[in-house]
Amino acid sequence: MEGACCTPSSKGGCEEPAIAQCVCKVDSSCCEVRWDFHCTRLVGEMNCGSPCSAPLSCGDPPENATCGQATPLAKGGTPVQGKTAGTGTTGGLCGGHLAPEVWYSYTLEQTALLDISVTTSFGLGVGCEPTLRPVIYLRDGCGSSAKEIGCNEYELHTDKLPPGTYYLAVDGRNGDAGDFSLEVKEASPCTGDVDCQGSPAAPACDLNRGRCVRCTSDVHCTSSFAPACNAVAQQCVACVVDAHCKDPAKPRCNSDKKICVACLSNQDCKDPLQPFCNLKENNCSSCLEDKDCKDPTKPACNLPTGSCVQQGNCCEVTPQIAGCADDSIEACVCAKDPFCCEFAWDMICAGEVEALGCSLCGPVCMQSADCKDPARPVCVPSAGKCAECAGDAHCKDPAKPSCKPGSFRCTECVGDAGCKTDPARPRCALDQGTCVACLSDADCKDPKNPFCSPAGSCVACLSDDDCFSWVARLRPGDLDLRALPLRLVLFRPGETRLQCDQESLCPTGRLL
């Protein structure tokens, strides 16, 4: 691979922020999870940067490989069989730049709608194997001045189009190529709601588009839960303006969420006991931060309930209250576990006080003689609390010879030096106090196992994306998966990863 952002990584994003931002608009997992092989293909696919690989050449191109040689389609909606081959030269606004494409033309003799669909055959592998994930784009002509009317995968439904000849390309996502079946149906635009009576889900006629839609005005929205029409999305919603909100407890309309809420600003909160508007929840509350709490007996603001409270002991569970009474302990725990300060101080949060080395939760002591619990036999003078150990000398178990500072618990290690006796586990995971094989991918030197797992072991992959060349990508409905002896694993939202149980069904795949 050549060019920027062309090297897969176990981390999200890449070295060029502008390219990463462009790619992640299409697939957010490339920034949020990992920059995998799929993301490097999107660099060129979506024109975010120089392609990371050359366009595929999948056999000899057919006669209709260019727009100027488009094959005319007959009327009637009869499916046409085709195959993409050759080298990709163009693409639509939604993709297709790395894959070969074929072109068709369709002539409208009168104003009409076009409903276009492409179905593909099943195959395994990537690239020139028959795994075409089709990209369809429609233009009003050929050449650089042609206007793109629409672009989508698998299906494309146009608004009403004037008479003329239109040019349709069947392309592929991610460099895919293969066989397909193309169907183009022509329909008359609606001229009024009466034309949409046969479709309960779309009873209104959008005269500008000529399409039947869910609503064009409030009159089409008859549900008391969604009485307003969102004109942009043409969907029925709870509100568009405040007038749609009839509940006195929720008189304002959140224009972003299209729901009725109690407040949009502090001015909407008339109750002197709840003068603040929580913009995240859109409800009136007693406080938004600790400084809003004037009662010295309740000095902390509990954001989940919007009320001033007396926070509890950090070593104890307070399930209805976020945070705890000691600011330094609270900050220490919440730096690792934000849930504890945002929602509730639950059992996990209380346990993390010691586990993260934020403080001790044992009984108060002056000397070890005060510590009666066999699990906490030692007094830690600096903390004045009983603990498991105050130094390595207190750790008698050979498997846990080190006393971890802060938590004062006996652990396997407190640094890499404690892991020298086991070459297979040379690194110390400080949070757990255990020896592991790796802390990052850099520790994994075996090319067959290049990724460091959360458990601290070197593995061949952390996600399906790391096994890109072994999988077939399918969308729901492509075939009846139950009829094939395959093992199914979630690949990406809306797609499925396949691994073969029989080698004959997986000529380019990986036998399980």
Q: What's the CATH number where 127 sits? A: 2.60.120.380
Least confident of 54-58, 67-71, 185-189: 54-58
pLDDT class of 61 with cuts at 50, 70, 90: confident
Which of 427, 446, 462 lies at the terminal end of a domain, its last residue?
Answer: 462
Q: Are residues 337 and 308 in the same domain?
A: yes
Give Cα 404 distance to the centre of its chain. 37
Structure tokens at 40: 């490097």
Q: Are residues 349 and 378 in the same domain?
A: no
Helix (H, G, I), strand (E, B) or coil at 190: coil
Residue 111's CB is within 10 A of a number of other CB atoms, namely: 13
pLDDT class of 251 with cuts at 50, 70, 90: very high
For the chain, what is the radius of gyration of the CA atoms?
31
What span, in angstroms and rounded, lies between the C-alpha atoms of 382 and 139?
A: 76
Nearest to 30 by CA among 6, 48, 50, 14: 14
SS3 of 209-231: the string is: CCEEECCCCHHHCCCCCCCEEEC
Helix (H, G, I), strand (E, B) or coil at 243: helix
Q: What is the DSSP letter of 101?
A: -
What span, in angstroms and rounded, lies between the C-alpha atoms of 380 and 419?
A: 26
Nearest to 62 by CA among 183, 179, 182: 179
What span, in angstroms and rounded, lies between the C-alpha atoms of 240 and 229?
A: 7
Which residue in this structure is represented by tokens 């892991």?
419
What span, in angstroms and rounded, lies between the C-alpha atoms of 309 and 105?
A: 70
What span, in angstroms and rounded, lies between the C-alpha atoms of 293 and 300?
A: 6
Q: What are phi and psi of 443, to 5 degrees?
A: -80, -10
Residue 281's CB is within 10 A of a number of other CB atoms, namely: 14
Q: Are residues 91 and 138 in the same domain?
A: yes
Which of 187, 207, 229 lies at the terminal end of a domain, its last residue?
Answer: 187
Does 14 map to a domain? no
Q: Are residues 252 and 201 in the same domain?
A: yes
pLDDT at 374 over 70: yes
pLDDT at 314 over 80: yes
Does 426 map to a domain? yes
Please say whether the beta carbons of 317 and 345 come within 8 A: yes
Helix (H, G, I), strand (E, B) or coil at 329: helix
Structure tokens at 4: 């920027």
Q: Are residues 64 and 153 in the same domain?
A: yes
Q: What is the pLDDT of residue 85?
A: 77
pLDDT at 217 over 90: yes
Does 123 map to a domain? yes
Helix (H, G, I), strand (E, B) or coil at 491: coil
Q: What is the pLDDT of residue 494?
A: 39
Please say whether the beta carbons of 226 and 233 come within 8 A: no
Q: What is the pLDDT of residue 131?
A: 61
Does 211 map to a domain? yes
Share of the chain above pLDDT 70, in %: 84
Q: Are residues 90 and 132 in the same domain?
A: yes
Does 439 map to a domain? yes
Indicate the number of domains in the chain.
Answer: 6
pTM of the model: 0.54
Q: What is the pLDDT of residue 492?
A: 36
Q: Are residues 433 and 338 in the same domain?
A: no
Does 510 map to a domain? no
Q: Are residues 132 and 103 in the same domain?
A: yes
Span 423-443, mean pLDDT?
92
pLDDT class of 116 with cuts at 50, 70, 90: very high
Least confident of 7-11, 20-24, 200-204, 416-420: 7-11
Span 146-164, mean pLDDT?
94
Q: Are residues 76 and 180 in the same domain?
A: yes
Structure tokens at 221: 């929205």
Does 378 map to a domain? yes
Q: Are residues 61 and 174 in the same domain?
A: yes
Domain that holds residue 490: 466-505
Instruction: Report the run of H or E that residue 102 belongs to, with start and end.
Output: strand 102-108
What average pLDDT does the chain have?
A: 83
Does 166 map to a domain? yes
What span, in angstroms and rounded, lies between the C-alpha atoms of 282 and 277?
A: 6
Q: Are residues 112 and 182 in the same domain?
A: yes
Q: What is the pLDDT of residue 192?
A: 95
Q: Are residues 492 and 374 in the same domain?
A: no
Span 225-242, mean pLDDT?
95
Question: Which is it for strands 102-108 and 71-72: parallel, antiparallel or unpaired?
Answer: parallel
pLDDT class of 285 with cuts at 50, 70, 90: very high
pLDDT class of 476 with cuts at 50, 70, 90: very low
